[in-house]
Amino acid sequence: MTDPPFGILVMAYGTASGPDDVERYYTDIRGGRAPTPEHLQELQGRYAAIGNRFPLLEITTQQAKGLARALGEGFRSHLGMKHSPPFIAEGVARMREDGIERAVGIVMAPHWSGMSIETYVDRVEKSVAEDGGPSFTFVRKFHDHPGFVRFLAGRVSDALAQLREEEHAHAAVIFSAHSLPQRTLENGETRCSHCHLCATSCAYVDGLRETAELVSAELGGIDHMIGWQSAGRTADPWLGPPVEEVIGELADKHPAIVVCSAGFVADHLEILYDLDIEAQEVARDAGVKLVRTEMPNADPAFVQVLADVVREHLASAPSP
């Protein structure tokens, strides 16, 4: 009799499935509060501007399938999305139905934050507590994994290669991640010395800064800054400075800028609109050339990094 397969629950934020699903998706994100008609129209306009593409589910599906292949026989992957089907609870249920007894959860987000990573963990544990399921351990971060650092360095190098020689020689890099509300840091997220909004320090901010410094070192040292993107529309302050502000600051000294969105691992609205349209417009107005790194998506080299992260986690973590 063979042992049950080992489960890998691959989790991501979720996505609207199409233009008609945008209101449902954003209502879910907002905890059941529908966006205003004006906000909904603006959101639908942003999706229309990128050709009404909604690629995240397909990309995450391919990442999960690739991860199971890279880990080899005895591993089986399932999907769990935070704000769209298949929801995290559905993924846990399917693992239970498949007879999986031990599992690892991994979120497609490299940097730890209580507002992001731990909310996925909470949903898994709630589902298991209510309905049963595998015994889980969790990968909580991989922003500093050597394989991930090398992968991003390769992406930055490829982006720099798109520049003319003079631009390349004097280019700077912005490493970005999704902004978070400042209140999450004040409520125990711990440590945020670089966010320009508070005097304490923050593990999330420090994590992005560490990624930036490691990738820069891998490339022999390059002028770089961190910036934050895609802040929400709330009265609370969010982490800054925003990418657009950093572009303006760097434009005074550099003819070209590379944006490496190190906090994301797939193409979606925050990349295809926020960077490819909004940030590009800011760069044009500032008179600076802007290119961005290609997203990891389901690149086999990135999937292999994820497999290495999972293997190392399993080797060091208590058996689930």
Tell me the pLDDT tens digit for each residue of 72-130: 999 999 999 999 999 999 999 999 999 999 999 999 999 999 989 999 999 999 999 99
Tell me the pLDDT tens digit for each residue of 246-262: 999 999 999 999 999 99
Cis amide prior to 241 (ω within 30 degrees) = yes
CB-based contacts of 109, cutoff 8 Å, min separation 6: 12, 13, 116, 117, 263, 264, 265
97-101, 182-186, 187-191, 204-208: range with lowest mean pLDDT: 187-191
Claim: this prediction has a pTM higher than 0.75: yes
Place of tokens 């922003």: 143
- Give the residue-averaged pLDDT of 139-157: 98
Q: Write phi, then psi, for 190 (nearest 5 degrees).
A: 65, 125
Output the CA torsion sign for 253, 256, 262, 264: positive
Q: Which range scores top for mean pLDDT: 165-174, 176-185, 227-236?
A: 165-174
The phi-psi region of residue 112 (left if phi > 0; otherwise alpha if psi is between -120 and 50; otherwise beta) is beta
**DSSP 8-state class, residue 21:** G
Is the fold of 6-142+299-316 the same as that of 146-292? Answer: yes
Q: Can you tell me the distance from the alpha carbon of 311 to that of 297, in angstroms, rounded to the nearest whole number?
A: 20
What class does CATH assign to 6-142+299-316? alpha beta
**CB neighbourhood size of 308 (10 A):** 17
Looking only at the bridges linking them, the beta strands covering 75-81 and 102-107 are unpaired
Show me where the domains of the chain are located: 6-142+299-316, 146-292
**pLDDT confidence tier of residue 2, bands split at 50, 70 and 90:** low
In CATH, 146-292 is 3.40.50.1400: yes
**What is the overall mean pLDDT for the chain?**
93
Burial (0-12, 13-18, 19+ Cβ within 10 Å), 38: exposed
Tell me the pLDDT tens digit for each residue of 122-145: 999 999 999 998 999 999 999 999
Q: Can you tell me the distance from the alpha carbon of 295 to that of 265, in angstroms, rounded to the nearest whole number?
A: 6
- Alpha carbon 180 to chain centroid distance? 13
Question: In this predicted structure, what is the pLDDT of residue 184?
Answer: 53
Question: In this predicted structure, what is the pLDDT of residue 233?
Answer: 75
| DSSP letter for each residue of 203-259 | HHHHHHHHHHHHHHHHTT---EEEEEE---SSSS-BSS-BHHHHHHHHHTT-SEEEE
77-86, 184-193, 250-259, 268-277: range with lowest mean pLDDT: 184-193
